[in-house]
Structure 1
Amino acid sequence: MRVAARILPAGSALGLLARRVSNVKQPATTSTAAPLPDEQATRLLMQLLAIPGPSGGERKVVEFLRQQLGKAGVSSSELKTDDAQRRSALGGEVGNLVLRLPGTVRGPRRMLSAHLDTVPICVGTKPVKRGQRIEAADPQAGLGGDDRAGVAVLLSTALSILRNKLPHPPLTFLWTVQEEAGLHGARNVRLSALGKPQLAFNWDGNLANRLTIGATGGYRMQIQIRGIASHAGGHPEKGVSAIVIASLATADLVEHGWHGLIEKGRQRGTSNIGVIAGGVATNVVSDLVNIKAEARSHDPAFRKRIVREIERAYRRAVKKVRSSDRRRGEVDIQGHLDYESFLLSKDDPSVLAAAAAVEAAGSDVDFAIANGGLDANWLTAHGIPTVTLGCGQNEIHTAAEWLDLEEFHRARRIALHLATTTSNAK
């Protein structure tokens, strides 16, 4: 997950890309289902945190989930993996894991989701419990609560229902792969495997009462600058430095306000030149630089403008650098949409249901919009409006990461409420 949340006041107007599901009403009855005991859920979480599973390498996590769910009576026909990894640019060991349960009571199908993979700093971590916190034993390692905490929320919910034979509407549990590497699992999910859910909830974040109902869109760019090599001591004037071109372009973006936080009137966005690689030796004028960059904005039109400004800056820079015989370098720019922005209205059925579950857990609802990508971006784009809730994550993607167990257990209670509360829908 890559999220920086902006909290919205309860009365904010949220109209952009408002989503509604027909014939679905706010839940009418309150669930009294008891979740898995905290001690058991914490033990499952600790086991999940210890399993290595980077993006594209989630097979061991899937095997653990299959084992736990199989012990609870889940059949192979109810638990399957799709082929998302075959359609992912990353490849990978395994696809998304999907558990579909037929309802024991009438109601719209509900989907609960979380992602299986962690960032590399978390691979091989050894979690330790200190009071109401879980941390990595190694101070140089990450924990992986992003998103093993979400994985554990779903597993705990499914086990509570299965072991106690709790009444529930039709349910889909979706554990996605490759979220951290570009949302590939959610992007390539086999929709036919999900059972057409009408309500959807994703666990990936900090506070259990925080409902992330929108997120920015991201565009990724690969920029290649080709200069002209020459001996830096003998004939530097005969060369065209690709590094100089890259430097001029980046300085241009900074000078004109198109790098970092971008504010143009009422329009907002961000851009970043994140990776630069080039050069072979100090005595050679560099003839090749490869750059990776990104642009983000909640406004698709403004994001496209940011991309255009980045492209223009590099093309202007190419024209500014010439060799003694007046030759220039070249620039090639490629890019693709990583994920589109979305924003659900507060009267979207999934938002209403999530808010009711948070309130039933005794908490006030906080609404947020994320400045990073979530699986919910692609799920919503697929026609499944999805609300993201927190599950205790803190300081993610760093060696300082820790998990708040109180928030984790609160998230479990909210999830079980959402999975077992019936609706007025006919």
Structure 2
Amino acid sequence: MSNDTVDSRQVVMDLLRIAGGSGQETQVLAAIERKLLDAGLDPTQMRYDEANTRAGFGEVGNLIVTLPGTISAPRRLLMAHVDTVPLCLGAVPLIDGEYIVSESAETALGGDDRSGAAVVLTTLLRILNERPEHPPLTFLWTIQEEIGLVGARYVDPEELNHPELCFNFDGGPPHSVIRGATGDSHMDIIVRGLASHAGAHPEQGISAIVIASMAIAELQRDGWLGLIEKSHGRGTSNIGYISGGAATNVVTDLITIRAEARSHDPQFRQEIVDTIQRAFVTAAETLANAAGAHGTVEFKSRSKYEAFALEEDSAVVTAAKEAARGAGLTPETRISNGGLDANWISSHGLPTVTIGCGQEFIHTVSERLHLPSFENACEIAWRLALDNA
């Protein structure tokens, strides 16, 4: 790959060294900003939006750069998220042969998604240095992806100048073009029982733990937890968080639960949510104390992101595949069962595919970044930015 003006490996190493969990991305974005200004970017072409303010959380908004085109063509967007999961805190990147790994066996690397952020940054730095002919371009570094695609959700399409072809750089191999992804619904469940002395008068209590246990057992038995395969739909669900109780001698009167449901079919995903709610309500109505009293359930759900699927022959999918071929790869398309910033960007009416950057074993201490794949992703991004697949 010809990349004489920008050292992409140095760019990604620089970004990997900076701590920046979800909601704490200021230092990462400041480093990107410094590199761009040092390369000669006009400061008026760069701005931060108010995605964090709209979300009600976080230090800083998304970083957006818009360039006018030197040729007449539809505007293109290149994007990646900059936050990492907590397991990456304190990571020190180390080059080990063809891989970048974490120096410590106790931390993840953060290649998810500093590698994507570096791909996008390298592309813009090369444009600033080499000044090639290119279509109108928007570059976007999003915040808080790891906690619900927040930056992508709250970005304003007007501030992106309405690009027609959008390319998100995130996990996986660079020949893999993700043209769709599942939707996710989040659930907050509060189970209220009645406290009593667990030794003197347990029969007077109503255990919130027992109510939840009854509901969860029913859902597991009937195939509505984990992988869900019904004749009319497929999806997944998970009870991921349970908190409550303070002492063994008190019948627990309150627990809080967080759960999720995923499916590519919005109607079936809602059916999963409704089934989970019904199981908890039924359990509360079934369990009674000696006086015949029952517990209660407070149940709230919300969409974290909606499913989408682009056609194989859509312009953005075709462009991504052609760029991969131009980089010497054999492209493959797939639909993801995980959420991506592309979910929300597509929901904003901007067709978006996701291209991998060589990240492996993400969200684990075994995480590593395959450098040849990362460099292939840089080549793909360069071709897409120049409309030169």
TM-score range, shorter chain: over 0.9
Deviations 1:76-95 (A, max 9, x none): 11011100000114x11110
Contact 2:5 2:130 in 1 (8 A): no
Pick aligned residue for 2:89 from 123, 141, 155: 123
Deviations 1:231-259 (A, max 9, x none): 00000000000000000000000010000
Asked if 1:46 is matched to 2:13, the reply is yes
2:246 and 2:117 mapped to 1: Cα distance?
Answer: 44
Contact 1:207 1:389 in 2 (8 A): yes
Deviations 1:341-382 (A, max 9, x none): 000001111101101101111111111111111000000000
Deviations 1:162-208 (A, max 9, x none): 10111111100000001001111000002211111011000001110
Contact 1:275 1:291 in 2 (8 A): yes
Shift of 1:422: 5.3
Pick the structure with more helix per residue: 2
Asked if 1:152 is matched to 2:84, the reply is no
Number of residues paired by the alignment?
389
1:175 and 1:44 mapped to 2: Cα distance?
Answer: 15
Where in structure 1 are there 5+ consecutive unaligned residues?
1-32
Pick aligned residue for 2:138 from 152, 172, 186: 172
1:108 and 1:160 mapped to 2: Cα distance?
Answer: 20
Partner SS for 1:180: helix
Pick aligned residue for 1:277 from 243, 247, 268: 243
Where in structure 2 are there 5+ consecutive unaligned residues?
none
1:87 and 1:284 mapped to 2: Cα distance?
Answer: 41
Asked if 1:409 is matched to 2:379, the reply is no
Question: Which residue of 2 is the match for residue 338 of structure 1?
Answer: 304
Shift of 1:421: 2.3
Question: Which residue of 2 is the match for residue 359 of structure 1?
Answer: 325
Question: Which residue of 2 is the match for residue 203 of structure 1?
Answer: 169
Asked if 1:58 is matched to 2:25, the reply is yes
Q: TM-score, normalised by structure 1?
A: 0.90
Any runs of at least 4 consecutive aligned residues in structure 1 with deviations exceeding 4 A, and if so which? none
Shift of 1:335: 1.0
Contact 1:35 1:157 in 2 (8 A): no
Pick aligned residue for 1:215 from 181, 185, 188: 181
Question: Which residue of 1 is the match for residue 3 of structure 2?
Answer: 35
Shift of 1:266: 4.8
Partner SS for 1:174: strand
Partner SS for 2:384: helix
Question: Which residue of 2 is the match for residue 251 of structure 1?
Answer: 217
Q: What percentage of residue pairs aligned between the two structures are identical? A: 49
Contact 1:109 1:199 in 2 (8 A): yes
Deviations 1:265-320 (A, max 9, x none): 15110000110111110000000010001100000010010011001100111122
Higher relative contact order (CA 8 A, sep 6+): 1
1:37 and 1:397 mapped to 2: Cα distance?
Answer: 32
Shift of 1:416: 0.1
2:46 and 2:2 mapped to 1: Cα distance?
Answer: 24
Pick aligned residue for 1:295 from 261, 267, 289: 261
Deviations 1:35-85 (A, max 9, x none): 3568x2111111100101111110001110111000111011101110000
Q: What residue identity is the alignment partner of 1:182? A: G
Q: TM-score, normalised by structure 2?
A: 0.98
2:23 and 2:370 mapped to 1: Cα distance?
Answer: 27
Contact 1:83 1:96 in 2 (8 A): yes
Asked if 1:378 is matched to 2:344, the reply is yes
Question: Which residue of 2 is the match for residue 5 of structure 1?
Answer: none
1:52 and 1:149 mapped to 2: Cα distance?
Answer: 14
Asked if 1:308 is matched to 2:278, the reply is no
Q: What residue identity is the alignment partner of 1:79? A: M
Q: What residue identity is the alignment partner of 2:98? A: Q
